[in-house]
Amino acid sequence: MTKIHSHTLPIGADIVDAFCLMQKGFTDQFVYYDKQRACRYMGLGRCIALPTLDEAESELEGPVEQPPVYFSFNRFDAENPAPADELFEAFPRLKFMLPEIVLIENERGTLLQVNSLGPVYPGRIERFARQALAAPPRCRESVPYRLEPDSREAWRDAVGAGLAAIEAGRVDKVVLSRRQRLVATRPFSSKDLLVNLIDGPARGTVLLYRYADVFFCGCTPELLVRKRGAELESMCLAGTCPAGGSEDERARLAAELMADP
């Protein structure tokens, strides 16, 4: 049995500002930030990584009873034996990872959680709280870039291969993706991209996992997870239909798709 000590206390700090200040020196960095509601978790460091939570026991400490916040990161098709691309292969495959520090914003307010495999030393809590409260306001900056066009010929070949597989009856549906390369005109960090997604016009939930010098960051409009008491809710919406030959036909097809159970 692995015993986790989690000390949680309220802090009057902006968690994004605190994260931007405190992230230096931590190899693992996680962000789950819902832009529509206070369901926001930002983790720094690695207390422990676990393959399952069955053998984990929590000792809740501090003025707020907050269970430890675990993060996870893996491929969408985690069981696919084919290798991922070279950037994704740089990440460790994590089932459950408990950061050393978690900055939280939820219905209780803004919280600081410090995790340890033994009783949490009061000096660590005080030091991290001071850092969070001393964080200066973040600054959003635009990063100029140029786009390197991908191969149209390679795209047409992929479409042709997909259509041939459908016609041969080997698959019913294919979802193709493109990989495009952006080249920034100056160096930038994961923090720059994170702040732009949180403070910019992007809608949905902002995600980040940084491991050493490689990071995965994005913003999805889908509801990934919502917790209300003992209930968890998720909504992954995906569907396809013909494009339609007119605006009226497109509207009708879209309405039929949205109404399809």
DSSP-assigned letters across all residues of 179-236: --EEEESS---HHHHHHHHHHSS--SEEEEEEETTEEEEEEESSEEEEEETTEEEEE-
Residues 104, 106, 111, 113, CA torsion sign: negative
pTM of the model: 0.83
- What is the Cα–Cα distance from 17 to 194, expressed in whole angstroms? 11
Measured between its terminal Cα atoms, the distance across the chain in Å is 43
247 three-class SS: helix
Residue 227 pLDDT: 78
> 2-142+186-221 has which CATH code?
3.60.120.10
Instruction: Judge contact between 232 and 224, C-beta under 8 A.
Output: no
Instruction: Judge contact between 68 and 15, C-beta under 8 A.
Output: no
162 three-class SS: helix
Residue 218 pLDDT: 93
DSSP-assigned letters across all residues of 16-39: HHHHHHHTTT-SEEEEEEESSSS-
Residue 4 pLDDT: 94
41 three-class SS: strand
- What is the Cα–Cα distance from 34 to 42, expressed in whole angstroms? 11
Residue 174 pLDDT: 83
Q: Look up residue 244 and give its two tokens.
A: 């339609």
51 three-class SS: coil
For the CA atoms of 66, 6, 39, 194, what is the dihedral angle to 10 degrees? 170
Q: Look up residue 247 and give its two tokens.
A: 């605006």
Domain parsing of the chain, residue ranges: 2-142+186-221, 144-184, 226-261
- The residue count of the chain comes to 261
DSSP state of 90: G
Residue 224 pLDDT: 77
Q: pLDDT by residue for the chain (261 residues), tens digit each?
A: 899 999 999 999 999 999 999 998 899 999 999 998 899 999 999 999 999 988 889 999 999 999 999 999 887 777 778 887 888 888 888 889 999 999 999 989 999 999 999 999 999 999 999 999 999 999 998 889 999 999 999 999 999 999 999 899 998 888 888 888 999 999 999 999 999 999 999 989 999 999 988 999 999 888 877 777 788 888 776 777 777 788 999 899 989 988 887
